[in-house]
Structure 1
């Protein structure tokens, strides 16, 4: 089975082709970073308009890269949520239209299920069951994964997500958009001389909280004379506090669930310091660690094509109509169900 995947949940247009026998055949991506940088964040209406301009050419480019045409596609998958509703509707409209025109089934994919399954695209994919840490701009959650569609959230952020905290802290430091990567780069030149809190680590449980950490950064900036060295040291101290918190919670989750395979997915999963710290922790816990390649940590069409393939091959399709969900809990999903 060969599936075309379309991702438009936020500010990146991604299209990919996945084949059950040949694997990932093509993936192309258009980022809107430059368009939103002047505003310091994503402007939803501009994001939707840019998806409209770029998506059809990206589909043609992906098909050409995969050396196939519409008659070679057996199904179309598109992101149906969660995300920006306008952006999601662009991808859903095109995905449903292409599927109707080509006479193939289509499926609306949960964006975070795409991230969760992204490590399965790698050469050494994790086997079910496993523990997943999903860390992105909008999500920070620990999920016990028994199989496709069998997800139990065991921990999540009660306020800001880790990626959101990175972006907000970067803004406090006057760094350009997107803030997370800029902060991580600045942190490489700094020293961790600020003792920022590791929120909720002294209490039992697996939930996260990062809003207080951002507030601690704001207080540190108020108390000292701004300088490049100060900002670099704050960035390093902040990054280490986030990494320490995520590592401690993952170690605790491994012990509590008994799951010995850990998947890290989402945009923050590309952070080099987090990858090193998680690798050391998993080695000490005799657990295996699985990341998607950095380009598949951020939003992309490949993960949507693969997640769609996994469900479409089981006979699941989305009923007629075009819809999108701004909010959609991962544990609302169920194992694939064939169409009636």
Structure 2
């Protein structure tokens, strides 16, 4: 079974080809392309939906041709087209879903709509087999921060989520306060190296609350007052910025890790998956591996290149659903809002 995956939910245009055996569940990624729009949107300090849609429109068709050529395949070799149907930016989603529908009709290929967050949730399987069910997944992607109890394929229960700013949004907004460019997460991670994370007393929001929800708006506000206390980002020395970046990264990662481990203990699920763009953060991955080991929890992480938005995870999610007889709805459309459940 060969699946063409298409992802255009936000600011990455991505295409991938995945080949899998439905009987064994084994498979491999055979080609992929990812075109980032970071440089385009950086000048605006964030993603501009209209610009993102136009960029997808230009990039997508030649990228599909490119992966087919790399794999020495033709449309007649494709068994299914998998496309992100949501959640995401409506205009961006429509570019991907419209192209997929047209290609499916012209080439007489079935199309599978895929939930973007399910793609992230299953992404560790790209490196081998998925962990045994049940497991807990920490999804930290863009505007999403949530803990999901995965009881089986398509059996997802959201047991914790952000009440305001997500972790990624907190990184971006805090970076802006420090005068750093968009996207903020990678910029803060680089700047934090060698910084004193304990210098600034930043809060760990909701860490001691008896629930699994998240809130990062208070941390962002604390960063704002700390920066103002020094005189603004223009008055901060390089050491000030390094220490602040280290403090921000430490605070966010500590909350994510401790809440995730708590979820595993509460749900009696000794396996933990982390996925989404923030999951590429090396401090988060190291801290999680250390604390999880203390609690005898096995941790599964996708390769850093498959933490950010990509089409490989979309094709893989479609493969897993197809081999399990979960084909999705016959009638569907692009959905900017889409709950993580069937």
- Structure 2 CA distance, aligned partners of 1:115 and 1:72? 26
Q: 1:195 to 1:254 in 2, by over 3 A?
A: same
Partner of 2:24: none
After superposition, residues 1-340 of structure 1 pair within 5 angstroms as 1-21=1-21, 22-123=27-128, 125-192=130-197, 193-225=199-231, 226-313=236-323, 314=325, 316-319=327-330, 323-330=333-340, 332-333=341-342
- Structure 2 CA distance, aligned partners of 1:270 and 1:133? 12
Between 1:220-229 and 1:112-121, the stretch displaced more is 220-229
- Are the aligned partners of 2:122 and 2:130 in contact in 1 as well (CA < 8 Å)? no
- Are the aligned partners of 1:44 and 1:84 in contact in 2 as well (CA < 8 Å)? yes
Q: 1:243 to 1:156 in 2, by over 3 A?
A: same
- Are the aligned partners of 2:202 and 2:248 in contact in 1 as well (CA < 8 Å)? yes
> What TM-score does the superposition give when structure 2 sets the normalisation length?
0.94
- Structure 2 CA distance, aligned partners of 1:118 and 1:315? 18
Note the residue ranges of structure 1 that are not aligned, 5 or more in a row: 334-340
CA RMSD of aligned residues (A): 1.2
Note the residue ranges of structure 2 that are not aligned, 5 or more in a row: 22-26
Cα shift at 1:249? 0.4
- Summarize deviations over 1:197-226 as a string: whole Å, max 9, x none: 111111101000000000000000111142
- Structure 2 CA distance, aligned partners of 1:315 and 1:178? 36
- Summarize deviations over 1:72-100 as a string: whole Å, max 9, x none: 10000100000000000000001111111
- Structure 2 CA distance, aligned partners of 1:175 and 1:37? 10
Task: Give the paired residue count.
Answer: 331
Cα shift at 1:124? 5.3
Between 1:100-109 and 1:87-96, the stretch displaced more is 100-109
- Are the aligned partners of 1:81 and 1:328 in contact in 2 as well (CA < 8 Å)? yes
Cα shift at 1:195? 1.5
Cα shift at 1:315? 5.8
Q: Which runs of 4+ in 1 moved over 3 A?
A: none
SS in 2 for 1:215: helix
- Summarize deviations over 1:252-285 as a string: whole Å, max 9, x none: 1111000011000000000000000000011101
- Structure 1 CA distance, aligned partners of 2:112 and 2:242? 45
- Summarize deviations over 1:223-257 as a string: whole Å, max 9, x none: 11422211111110111001111111012111100
